[in-house]
Structures are given as C-alpha cells and as structure tokens.
Structure 1
Amino acid sequence: MATGKWSKDQAEAGERANYRCEYCDLDLLSSIDNYKLWTLDHIVPKEVGGDESLDNLAIACRMCNVYFKWRWDPRKGAPAGADRAGLVAAVRLHVEAQRIRMAGDLELVRQIVEYKPNPECPIR
C-alpha cells in the first residue's frame, strides 16, 4: 500500500488507524486540508526511550502531535506496563486537557479584543 511519499510504516499505521488521528479522531483523508495535517508520531517519544517500531508509531494530525502532545511521555498518564492501547488512551486524555486549556485561553483573547466572527468566512 505504500505509494507516493508514504513510507511503509506510514501506510501501515494509517490503515491500522482507519486514516484518522489516533488522538482526536480527525479524518485525515476527508479533505486536502486534513490530509496536509497528517503526521507520524512516536507514542513514547524517542527522547525518553521510545523506539521506531510500528507498535510505537501513531497517525496524528499536526495539531495533536505538534501543539498538544509534542514530547509528552504517555507513561506519565497510563497505568504501569500499559500496552499500546493504554498509551494511546493516555495521550487522548492529555490532548483533550490541552485543548480545553487552549480553548479557555482563546476565549479570553476573544473577550479582550471583542471578537466578532465573520459569517462569510468559509472556514471555522
């Protein structure tokens, strides 16, 4: 299944995840905008001992991987000895908490600048 610029690992990880971000469930093949967000994440970051095995790789959208998870070690939020599913579940909880925090920050900024959405903007 590896085609174009995809590596074999990306293709296999994508198929395993049904082409959705494993952390927020974004459908990465639903549009070109979503497709361009596709990243391959090390569930346990290499910096803290994660390896290159397919079991340690997850498909993630750029927002989840770069902005919300980044180098966070899911072993901090998962039960001791958690398997891949347990580690991914810990990342999902961490990402959701980061999204909630950032949504609060965004709401404060909107209040400060008295933001009014543009109803004619096609992207929201």
Structure 2
Amino acid sequence: MAADQLDEITARAKAMVAAGRGGDLMLMPGWWYVITADSFLDRMTAMPDIVELAPAVRCPTLCLRGDQESEDTYPAEAFAAHAGAICDVEIIPKCDHFYRGREQAVIDRVAAWLRRTLG
C-alpha cells in the first residue's frame, strides 16, 4: 500500500493524527484509492495476521482469490496450510480483486463448496 515509502508515509500519518487531522485523506503510492491517516495507522497496528490466526479457525473454510491478486496480499494458500480445520482454496481464473465479469464463476464455486461441505 505504501510501496517503498512506508517510513515516510507512517511518519506523515502520525504527524497528521497528532495535529488532530486523523480523518484527512492520504494518497497511497502502491494503492489505487485514498485512506485516512487514522485508518492507515490502524491497518499498520491493529490488523490481525490471518495466517497466524488460522490454526484457531475450527470450522470448514473456503478461501477465494482472483488469479490476478497477489498471494502476498491475499494469502489463501498459506491460510489453508495453517488452518485448524478443512480449508479449500479456489483461485478464479481471469479474475481481479473485484471479481468483475467473473461473478458467475464465484457463485458456482461457492455453491459447489456449500453443497460439498454441508451435504
């Protein structure tokens, strides 16, 4: 999200919050939209590590990811490898983060998973 400017953007966000401007928007060089200084710092400090928490998930899980999404950002395979229960990973081909034009593929995968998992 901050690309190669993490330290600079973190310092700017902290300064904005300290000045009472935590709700002001910031542009992110590695992202396609804006975020508030408060939200940026929250993501840096309060976002859980889902792979670290995966062993505590004790129910069947389906992880979907478009093939155009980064495994580093959306670690479906890593989550499945550490999950505390069955975790299926479905990678939707020709698919971006928003599943544009691939909605039916998502519906089909989720419906099939629910039929298999719930009987």
Q: Which TM-score tier does this pair reach, normalised by the shorter chain? A: under 0.3
Please give the TM-score of this superposition, normalised by the length of structure 1: 0.26
Please give the TM-score of this superposition, normalised by the length of structure 2: 0.27
> Which is greater in Rg?
2
Q: Which has the higher strand share?
A: 2
